[in-house]
Amino acid sequence: MRCDIGVIGNGAVGKAAALGFAQAGYSVLLLCPDEAASVARKMSPDWDARVFALNHTAKNLLSRLKVWDALVPERVAPVEAMQVFDANGARLVLDAYAASELSMAWIVEDQNLNQALDSALRFAANVRIVVGKTRAMSADFTQLQLDNGTSLQADLWVAADGAQSWMRNQADIGLDYRSYGQRGVVANFSCSQPHHGVAHQWFLGDDGIIALLPLAGQQVSLVWSAPEALAQTLLAESAQQLAARVMLYAQAILGELIPLPPQRVQAFPLNFIAPHQIIGPRMALVGDAAHVVHPLAGHGMNLGFGDVVTLLDVVSERESWRSCGDQRVLQRYARARKEDVLLMQLATDGLARLFGSPLSPLQQLRSFGLSLVDKLPFVKKQLVRQAMGR
């Protein structure tokens, strides 16, 4: 099988890349690991524990791909403001209106996003979905062999195969890796008081970081970046016990929290992954294959969609005599993404270290910093615009 673009990985970022290149007129192969992953999923009536805070960059891409309007609208919640608290009582309020916008971001479930992308892919004329698992790559990176004997050929490989990327390993790309010693504990709750479209975040020092993101209606999604020992305790408890723990911080703002069906608490490990480069021979890394950051800012998916936007533009604007996988084209992609990715890595990693430090001087410094920034409208406006992807 031959194509212009071979996309490896069937997550939301990979699907967006496949759809974007197909709509731009390129022939695309999208590799799914198994038959089940290639079948369009159906929306569950239960709220998905995995949600994303999509900023304006992500929304603009999904609108460009004609996917945004295909989302189930009653399960998309705008974030109009954000309140951040630290363990000493300092507070920072960020407001979309300060940047002359109605929303800072939109909270979208994983299943809602993927269902809309799957529907769009079914109608894309230039996309062929291939089922199989990667086995071997040719020395010149022109041909990929699958475990079922199928061979794929592409001018450009888009590696969207996640944090443990097989494609990245084939290109022998080194990386910096560090575990935060935390897990992201996630669950959904209804709240007795309206959240008014405000996301809330508490930096708790030794107990990690609690974030409550607004869902449609009077409902919120929890992401608790908890140290490993605490995470194990939270997972061993019931959803009702988790709600009681969270209410120690949120009850004054959101009232009583009641677990939403299926009342299941889940968790995922939190790591920092920074590949030494995001390109290889005929290959561009996107999404978690290209960078994994702490979720405290909620920008992991946004970085991935930013990769797709840049890669689409760079490939489409290349000189006519260059192939999609020309090394000069890929170098342009790497340069274009370097600053945004590096800034987000430094910001999220620095904040995770700062707010996780038990040292008293640092605790006083971060409290002073939050209070100071809250009194500086210009700085707050710039923070809001950065968060929105502006």
Neighbour tally for 335: CB within 10 Å: 12
Residue 371 pLDDT level (bands cut at 50, 70, 90)? confident
- Does residue 102 register a pLDDT over 90? no
Is residue 130 within 8 Å of residue 31, measured between CB atoms? yes
Angle at the Cα of 23 from the Cα atoms of 19 and 25, rounded to 5 degrees: 120
pLDDT digit string, tens, across residues 14-32: 999 999 999 999 999 999 8
What is the pLDDT averaged over residues 234-260?
A: 95
Residue 379 pLDDT level (bands cut at 50, 70, 90)? confident
Residue 364: per-residue pLDDT:
73
The secondary structure of 142-177 as a DSSP string is SEEEETTS-EEEEEEEEE---TT-HHHHHTT--EEE
> By C-alpha distance, which of 129, 147, 127 is closest to 137?
147
Neighbour tally for 259: CB within 10 Å: 19
Angle at the Cα of 50 from the Cα atoms of 49 and 51, rounded to 5 degrees: 110
Residue 101 pLDDT level (bands cut at 50, 70, 90)? confident
Q: Is the dihedral of CA 244, 250, 256, 260 positive or negative?
A: negative
pLDDT digit string, tens, across residues 122-142: 889 899 999 999 999 999 999
Neighbour tally for 218: CB within 10 Å: 15
What is the pLDDT averaged over residues 305-318?
A: 97
What is the pLDDT averaged over residues 173-195?
A: 95
Kindly report the pTM of this predicted structure.
Answer: 0.93
Residue 98: per-residue pLDDT:
73
Report DSSP state, residue 292.
B
3-class DSSP state of 195: coil
Query: Is beta strand 143-146 parallel, antiparallel or unpaired with respect to 91-95?
Result: unpaired
Cis peptide before 377 (omega within 30 of 0): no
Q: Domains (ranges, CATH) in the chain?
A: 2-40+110-176+272-352 (3.50.50.60), 75-108+180-269+356-388 (3.30.9.10)
CA 268 to chain centre: 13
What is the pLDDT averaged over residues 229-243?
A: 95
Q: What is the C-alpha separation between 361 and 384, in angstroms, rounded?
A: 28
